[in-house]
């Protein structure tokens, strides 16, 4: 079904990082179903292929976004393919369980490189195209970008950083007509906990604890989060910028 909202995204070019799983895969699909051309970016070519197999509007680019020169390569790939770039979704990210007593410089640097520096360099490289399109950036934060997370403080801090980048860039780029917003999901089904290297039993315990803490009584689905990423990027959202929208089943209220 085509709605007024989907028709405005039709023909637009969208980059989604981390599109081989979880929230990024659901977002890539949601944009493609809305009629956009989507470049799905991530390290695992096979995972990206599984995303692209679900919709012909999705192209793939295997890339480590923390590598030297990767940001420009990603932006050039989309702009070269479609001659434009309207939306950058900075979704790729990781969580790190790391109590203060175990804090390790390498792990902090790697986390910030992925969750903060790579989105910044992608946004910088995207700028000329976003100016031309009067486009939008959607950064993916977390409920824990604005509430404490004992035992994973650096993850929370990295998401707090992306929220402040969102507000600051929104003001910096407003005169160019570029909107910058953030989506802050609560605990959502994805590969994130496994990717953090946690054993299955710990992952299951965390999921049980999160479910018990969420007022709506369950973890979210990637599709429930992706729908709001699309709303924030949609050209119909012409007067919203610099906002952090929390989609977390009410967790933020507790």
Ligand X SMILES: NC(=O)c1ccc[n+]([C@@H]2O[C@H](COP(=O)([O-])OP(=O)(O)OC[C@H]3O[C@@H](n4cnc5c(N)ncnc54)[C@H](OP(=O)(O)O)[C@@H]3O)[C@@H](O)[C@H]2O)c1
Q: Is 144 a catalytic residue?
A: no
Residues in contact with ligand X, total (CB under 6 A)?
Answer: 29
Q: How far apart are CA 91 and CA 138, in angstroms?
A: 8
CA 144: distance to chain centroid? 14
| Tokens of residue 132, six digits | 């031309």
Tell me if 93 contacts ligand X by CB under 6 A. Answer: yes
The residue (of 174 and 195) whose beta carbon lies closer to ligand X is 195
CA dist., res. 100 & res. 122, Å (int) = 30
Pairwise CA distance, residues 174 & 180, whole Å: 9
Closest CA relative to residue 245, chosen from 145, 169, 172: 145
Phi, psi of 128 (to 5 degrees): -60, -40
Please tell me which residue in 144, 155, 169, 228 is annotated as part of the active site.
Answer: 155
Q: Does 156 sit near ligand X (CB under 6 A)?
A: no
Task: Mark 186-225 with x for binding to ligand X (rule: CB under 6 A) and - for no binding.
Answer: -xx-xxx--x------------------------------
- Of positions 12, 60, 91, 166, contacts ligand X by CB under 6 A: 91
Please, which residue, 32 or 140, has the CB nearer to ligand X?
A: 140
SS3 202: helix
Catalytic machinery residues: 155
Binding-site ranges for ligand X (CB under 6 A): 17-18, 20-24, 42-44, 47, 64-66, 91-95, 114, 140, 142, 185, 187-188, 190-192, 195
């Amino acid at each position: 079904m085509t709605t007024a909202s989907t028709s405005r995204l039709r023909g637009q070019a969208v980059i989604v990082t981390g599109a081989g799983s979880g929230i990024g895969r659901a977002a890539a699909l949601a944009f493609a179903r809305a009629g956009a051309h989507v470049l799905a970016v991530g390290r695992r070519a096979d995972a990206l292929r599984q995303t692209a197999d679900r919709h012909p509007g999705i192209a793939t680019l295997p890339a480590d976004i923390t590598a030297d020169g990767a940001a420009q390569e990603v932006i050039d790939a989309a702009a070269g393919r479609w001659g434009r770039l309207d939306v950058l979704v900075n979704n790729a990210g990781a969580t790190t369980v790391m109590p203060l007593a175990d804090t390790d410089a390498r792990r902090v640097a790697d986390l910030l490189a992925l969750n903060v520096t790579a989105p910044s360099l992608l946004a910088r490289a995207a700028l000329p195209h976003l100016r031309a399109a009067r486009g939008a950036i959607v950064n993916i934060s977390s409920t824990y970008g604005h509430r404490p997370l004992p035992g994973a403080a650096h993850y929370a801090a990295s998401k707090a950083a992306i929220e402040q980048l969102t507000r600051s860039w929104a003001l910096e780029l407003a005169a160019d007509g570029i909107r910058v917003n953030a989506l802050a999901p609560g605990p959502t089904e994805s590969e994130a906990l496994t990717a953090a290297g946690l054993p299955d039993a710990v992952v299951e315990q965390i999921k049980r604890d999160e479910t018990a803490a969420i007022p709506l009584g369950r973890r979210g689905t990637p599709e429930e989060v992706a729908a709001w990423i699309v709303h924030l990027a949609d050209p119909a959202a012409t007067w919203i910028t610099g906002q952090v929208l929390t989609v977390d089943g009410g967790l933020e209220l507790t």
